[in-house]
């Protein structure tokens, strides 16, 4: 892996903790940061020592305040399309990453920051977090999947309201509408995210990956196609040692020792 300038990446037991570290620009995503995030996810795709990922932002103020406006301001249509393609590739990599990804939203999650959080599987927020898609204030629209993932998470009306007004909402409102899953006092946020990652790490990794895939893929197809996706994934797990071990451990009244095989 080449040296990372904008991220701090640390392995805590089986959890990879990625901290976006451009505090002076409220952790705004410049192209280099997007490329570094892509590199980190790509290089851990097959890393069996990692069972979950936590993404957060450096400092007390921001998770990510959006794509880097200074960098973006001079782009033409081709440049804008290319920028969007890079962010969309990253968010799709996160959504299809074989391990769960938890966003620990420690402050502003705006524009590309909200979109990054929405690509994650679970969103935990600090009571101080503020979220929104303010792109219309800049004469553009969300470009890292916001018009697509926000409506899938909170429904068409709320997505329209947030994207068309560009207004920010606080953590309590984000929780109420289903944009974040749990809210914690700021000082507890990272520990709660790590705790959740640790709980997931005790489960069968193949089952966790299959469940994530089924939920995500199922949302893009009709119910019966989604149920077929589930049936095939469910059946496939019966060919794994983890299924044998998980059910044997239950019957022997002991904790399962999953190997991810
Ligand atoms: N890009 C680049 N720099 C940013 C930034 C961004 N998205 N957000 C904040 N910064 C910089 C500011 O320019 C400022 O830098 P200087 O100290 O050098 O002037 C520094 O971070 C601190 O910001 P503020 O002084 O503005 O802090 P504040 O507390 O007064 O306001 C804020 C905080 C409300 C988050 C405000 O910074 C803000 O509105 N930021 C922009 C949010 C935004 O519009 N995000 C969407 C970007 S577009 C996008 O993301 C497109 C997409 O979908 C891919």
Are the C-beta atoms of residues 17 and 196 closer than 8 Å to each other?
no
Per-residue pLDDT band for 112 (boundaries 50, 70, 90) equals very high
State the average pLDDT for the chain: 97
List pLDDT tens digits, range 191-222. Answer: 999 999 999 999 999 999 999 999 999 999 99
Q: What is the pLDDT of residue 138?
A: 98
Q: Which residue, among 65, 63, 85, has the nearest Cα to 75 in the 3D structure?
A: 85
Is 115 an active-site residue?
yes
**1 has pLDDT over 90:** no
Q: What is the pLDDT of residue 3?
A: 82
**Ligand 1 center to residue 65 CA distance, Å?**
5
Q: Where are the domains positioned within the chain?
A: 7-201, 205-251
**Ligand 1 center to residue 25 CA distance, Å?**
7
Per-residue pLDDT band for 2 (boundaries 50, 70, 90) equals low
7-201 with 205-251: one CATH topology? no
> For 205-251, which CATH superfamily applies?
Lyase 2-enoyl-coa Hydratase, Chain  A, domain 2 (1.10.12.10)
Interval 114-125 mean pLDDT: 98
71, 135, 230, 257: the catalytic one is 135
Tell me the whole-structure pTM to 2 decimals.
0.97
Are the C-beta atoms of residues 159 and 150 closer than 8 Å to each other?
yes
36, 115, 127, 195: the catalytic one is 115
* CB-based pocket (< 6 A), ligand 1: 25-26, 28, 65-70, 87, 108, 110-112, 115, 134-135, 138, 142-144, 146
By alpha-carbon position, which residue is closest to atom 4 of ligand 1? 25
Tell me which CATH code domain 7-201 carries: 3.90.226.10
Are the C-beta atoms of residues 66 and 113 closer than 8 Å to each other?
yes
**Ligand 1 center to residue 7 CA distance, Å?**
18
Is 127 an active-site residue?
no
Interval 159-168 mean pLDDT: 98
By alpha-carbon position, which residue is closest to atom 10 of ligand 1? 25
**Ligand 1 center to residue 59 CA distance, Å?**
14
Are the C-beta atoms of residues 94 and 119 closer than 8 Å to each other?
yes
């Amino acid at each position: 892996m080449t040296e990372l300038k904008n991220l701090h990446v640390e392995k805590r037991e089986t959890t990879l903790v990625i901290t976006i570290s451009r505090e002076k620009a409220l952790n705004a995503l410049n192209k280099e940061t997007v490329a570094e995030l892509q590199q980190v996810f790509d290089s851990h795709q097959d890393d069996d020592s990692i069972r979950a990922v936590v993404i957060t932002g450096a400092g007390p103020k921001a998770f990510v305040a959006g794509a880097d406006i200074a960098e973006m301001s001079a782009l033409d249509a081709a440049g804008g399309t290319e920028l969007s393609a890079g962010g969309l590739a990253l968010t799709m990599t996160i959504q299809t990453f074989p391990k769960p990804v938890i966003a620990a939203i420690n402050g502003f999650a705006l524009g590309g920051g909200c979109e990054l959080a929405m690509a994650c599987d679970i969103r935990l927020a600090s009571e101080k977090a503020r979220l929104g898609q303010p792109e219309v204030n800049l004469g553009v629209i969300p470009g890292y999947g916001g018009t697509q993932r926000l409506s899938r998470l909170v429904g068409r009306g709320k997505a329209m309201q947030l994207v068309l007004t560009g207004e920010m909402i606080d953590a309590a409102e984000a929780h109420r509408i289903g944009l974040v899953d749990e809210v914690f006092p700021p000082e507890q946020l990272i520990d709660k995210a790590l705790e959740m990652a640790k709980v997931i790490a005790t489960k069968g990794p193949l089952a966790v990956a299959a469940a994530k895939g089924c939920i995500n893929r199922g949302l893009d197809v009709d119910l019966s196609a989604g149920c077929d996706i589930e049936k095939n994934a469910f059946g496939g797990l019966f060919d794994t040692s983890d299924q044998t071990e998980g059910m044997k451990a239950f019957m022997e009244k002991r904790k399962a020792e999953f190997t991810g095989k």
